[in-house]
């Protein structure tokens, strides 16, 4: 059963490709974009499609990863968010959304998969007829 898509936002093409490939190999469907505007447009077009966000913090011109996560969380307050950053991790406590995970660059791909899986597993499960 497909759980939905993971939105990956990273302005470095090689890192984006590596993360996309690792997630696909782990069984996730991935929508990969290189900037905040594309991420927000993809999400706003089909918000119910996305079950997680993995974003870099610094995304070049325009909005940053903090702002992307906040925008997506307005529509889906429990959306799992994993941040990736080489130098912005110190701001995670003040800028990051609650119940998110920060993965410091450079990282090993299993760290990203584990972070996302942990957040997805923490979501409440809708069980019909359970009381």
Q: What is the mean pLDDT of residues 1-28?
A: 90
Domains contained in the chain, number: 1
CATH number at residue 48: 3.40.50.2300
Beta-carbon contacts of residue 67 (< 8 Å; ≥ 6 apart): 36
Domain span at residue 71? 5-108
Residue at 123 is within a domain: no
Strand partners for 32: 8
Residue at 88 is within a domain: yes
pTM score, two decimals?
0.92
Residue at 128 is within a domain: no
- What percent of the chain is modeled with pLDDT above 70? 92
CA distance 74 to 130: 28
Residue at 98 is within a domain: yes
- Under a CB-based contact definition with an 8 Å cutoff, are residues 54 and 84 in contact? yes
pLDDT tens for each residue of 79-94: 999 999 988 889 999 9
pLDDT tens for each residue of 45-101: 999 999 999 999 999 999 999 999 999 999 999 999 999 998 888 999 999 999 999
Residue at 115 is within a domain: no
CA distance 73 to 80: 9
Q: Which residue has the tokens 């939905």?
A: 4
- Under a CB-based contact definition with an 8 Å cutoff, are residues 53 and 29 in contact? no
Strand partners for 103: 84
Residue at 119 is within a domain: no
Nearest to 70 by CA among 60, 81, 86, 62: 81
Residue at 94 is within a domain: yes
């Amino acid at each position: 059963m497909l759980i939905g898509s993971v939105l990956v936002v990273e302005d470095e093409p090689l890192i984006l490709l590596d993360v996309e490939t690792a997630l696909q190999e782990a069984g996730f469907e991935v929508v990969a974009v290189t900037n905040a505007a594309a991420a927000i447009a993809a999400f706003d077009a089909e918000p119910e499609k996305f079950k997680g966000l993995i974003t870099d913090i610094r995304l070049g011109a325009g909005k940053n990863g903090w702002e992307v996560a906040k925008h997506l969380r307005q529509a889906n307050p429990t959306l799992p968010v994993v941040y990736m950053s080489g130098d912005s991790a110190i701001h995670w406590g003040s800028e990051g959304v609650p119940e998110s995970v920060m993965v410091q660059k450079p990282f090993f791909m299993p760290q990203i998969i584990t972070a996302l899986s942990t957040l997805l597993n923490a979501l409440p499960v809708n069980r019909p007829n359970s009381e």
